[in-house]
Amino acid sequence: MIQMKSRLLVIDNSGALIVECIKVLKNAKWASIGDEIVVSVKNARPISDNLGASVASTRIKKGDVRKALIVRTKKEMRRPDGRFIRFDDNACVLINNQKQPIGSRILSLVPRELREKNWVKVVSLAPKVI
């Protein structure tokens, strides 16, 4: 269950590392797996230019406000067969306004509930679906 001020890991290669939820994009107090949220980037990955000097990432910078898709939560989720699934951390993938992932790779596993919620592009980029 993700609500305002929740911190999430970013598991794609967009350049952001840690984000903070600032808005849940549905009429509820919290969001779950497969829901969209608005996030603020709190920590971003620096990139190096040809001279070796560290400069801020041109794609995602600290302080940027973006949309994200929640892919993992610590709060357990019930599956139709009665099993519960939960993860060790809260994680998301940054998306653009056309609901496509900003990064070209997803670096960790995602649950199969994303396929049922029509996030097929995110599922196809993931190395493993649980």
- In tens, the pLDDT along 49-66 reads 554 544 443 479 999 999
pLDDT tens, residue by residue, 60-108 = 999 999 999 999 999 999 999 999 999 999 999 999 999 999 999 999 9
Hunting for tokens 């302080």 — which residue is that? Answer: 63
Query: What CATH number does the domain containing 36 carry?
Result: 2.40.150.20
Distance CA 87, CA 24 (A): 20
DSSP state of 95: E
- Residue % of the chain over a pLDDT of 90: 89
The DSSP secondary-structure symbol of 122 reads H
**C-alpha to C-alpha distance for 114 and 110, rounded to whole angstroms:** 8
For the chain, what is the domain count? Answer: 1
Which alpha helices (H) appear in the chain, and where do they start and end?
113-116, 120-125
Domain assignment of residue 17, yes or no: yes
What single letter denotes the amino acid at residue 122?
A: V
Q: Structural domain of residue 8, as residue ranges?
A: 4-44+61-123
Residue 109 in this model has a pLDDT that exceeds 90 = yes
Does residue 129 belong to any structural domain of this protein? no
